Amino acid sequence: MNLDFSNDEKEFRKSIRQWMKENVPDDIRRCTARGAMPDKNMQQRWERLLGSQGWLTSTWPEQFGGPGWSATQRYIFDQERASAGAPPTSPFGVAMVGPVLYTFGSEAQKERWLPGIQRGETLWCQGYSEPNAGSDLASLKTRATRNGDHYLVNGQKIWTTQAHWADMMFCLVRTDSTVKQQQGISFLLIDMKTPGLEVRPIYSIDGHHHLNEVYFTDVKVPVENLVGQEGMGWTIAKFLLTHERTTIAGVADIHYEINRLKSAIDALPTETDKQLAVRRLAGLEVDLMALEYTNFRTVAATDEGKPFGPESSGLKIKGTELQQRVSQAMVEIGGLMSLPWDNEEPIGEQIFNQASRRYNFLRACTIYGGSNEIQKNVLAKMLLGL
């Protein structure tokens, strides 16, 4: 038992902290401190900056261009990233299609796509959900019909985050409707500029455009963009669910949010208001500590070569619940100061000015990536044997 970081890890932290101090661009830092979300330009500048250090793909094995960090180092990096006010990186390239490609892809596919992800140049989006296939993903209907050296894709995807930014989509399509649902699904890489592909915006309750509908009308996708074999799509999708999720709880970013909120307590009107806010924050901090130590355990286990399996779903469930509770606390503690929506100048503490947008945005986090109820169904089956 040892709950301390080693001296080497402490040195690593120091060097990352210094680098963050010198390199996180001011406009991005200010944007995060305000509680706003980075725009495409900021997001991509930040990811390219990490890419130029070889740090964007820190979870990848060294042979595919990862920096060779331990899970503990990755965890420390994430803590320093968040506390420096830098945004999390977009998961679609780095955490999703990248690992799929180096695990299931052909040599040609790896060569073609991995470098762009590594350098932060190619932006990806995830074509999974459909209007009638949300939590019940396996019922998806978008179909790909083989036609010589290409597939013709027809159908519709929905809730596609950043489709309007993306260069490429990884997409689950139905290639066979004569077999069991799960066995007829394939994994395709689709260029977003292909004729017949149309992206339409969906505005979220935070007032911003993150989500889209994507329509496919006879979209031609070369067969070399099929990953693995036809019918392997479901296996690949499940692989992603158990792929490393040591930062899925969002502990580092929750710390950042709690600290932001702490710094604003002095702006509250009365001593009683302040005391109640301090008490509420302490409750959130205690819950965060329980999540963080569970997270540490998964990190330590990963470094011992015994990564947590489906147990890490617990991190997703508790982490997203806590993100929501912190964002709600921010709005409620801000009170009147949280009400203005599109004003330039905050009527009180700056932090509360964007709080309600963030609160609205985060209602999605218990839904995306497999709703928490679906996570619980999976856990009940896989771990509890119910």
Contact 158, 114 (CB under 8 A): no
Would you call 345 exposed, middle or buried from its count of C-beta atoms within 10 A (0-12, 13-18, 19+)?
Answer: exposed
CA angle centred on 264, ends 260 and 266, rounded to 5°:
150
Q: Which is nearer to other proteins, 12 or 216 (CB)?
A: 12
179 binds other proteins (CB under 8 A): no
Q: Which is nearer to other proteins, 162 or 375 (CB)?
A: 375
268 binds other proteins (CB under 8 A): no
Q: Residue 250 CB, nearest distance to other proteins (Å)?
A: 15
Q: Residue 91 CB, nearest distance to other proteins (Å)?
A: 22
Contact 340, 353 (CB under 8 A): yes
- The residues facing 173 across adjacent strands are 186
Q: Residue 100 CB, nearest distance to other proteins (Å)?
A: 27
Indicate which residue of 80, 130, 230, 244 is catalytic: 244
Residues binding other proteins: number (CB under 8 A) = 36
Only segment of 26-34, 212-220, 263-271, 274-282 that touches other proteins (CB under 8 A): 274-282
Residue 145 tokens read as: 């019909």
Q: CA 295, CA 283: separation in Å to the nearest integer? A: 18
Site for other proteins in 65-84 (CB under 8 A): 72
* Binding residue (CB under 8 A) for other proteins from 30, 115, 205, 290: 290
User: Residue 357: what residue type?
Assistant: R
Q: Name the region of 358 (left: φ>0; alpha: ψ -120 to 50; beta: rest).
A: alpha
* Binding residue (CB under 8 A) for other proteins from 205, 286, 336, 347: 286
Active site residue 244: yes
Q: Which is nearer to other proteins, 49 or 265 (CB)?
A: 265
* Binding residue (CB under 8 A) for other proteins from 318, 322, 323, 352: 318
H or E segment and range at residue 8: helix 7-23
Site string for other proteins, 292-311 (x = CB under 8 A): -xx-xx-xxx---------x
**Packing angle, helices 71-83 and 7-23, rounded to 10:** 40
241 binds other proteins (CB under 8 A): no
Residue 33 tokens read as: 């401190």
- SS3 of residue 135 by DSSP: coil
Site string for other proteins, 126-165 (x = CB under 8 A): ----------------------------------------
266 binds other proteins (CB under 8 A): no
Q: CA 334, CA 353: separation in Å to the nearest integer? A: 9
Would you call 56 exposed, middle or buried from its count of C-beta atoms within 10 A (0-12, 13-18, 19+)?
Answer: buried
Q: What does the DSSP assignment read for 179-218? A: S-GGGGEEEEEEETTSTTEEEEEEE-TTSSEEEEEEEEEE
* Binding residue (CB under 8 A) for other proteins from 177, 272, 279, 305: 279
Only segment of 46-54, 118-126, 214-222, 286-294 that touches other proteins (CB under 8 A): 286-294
Q: Which is nearer to other proteins, 215 or 296 (CB)?
A: 296
| Catalytic residue set | 244
Residues of this chain that bind other proteins (CB under 8 A) = 1-5, 72, 278-279, 282-283, 285-287, 289-291, 293-294, 296-297, 299-301, 311, 314, 317-318, 373, 376-377, 379-380, 383-386
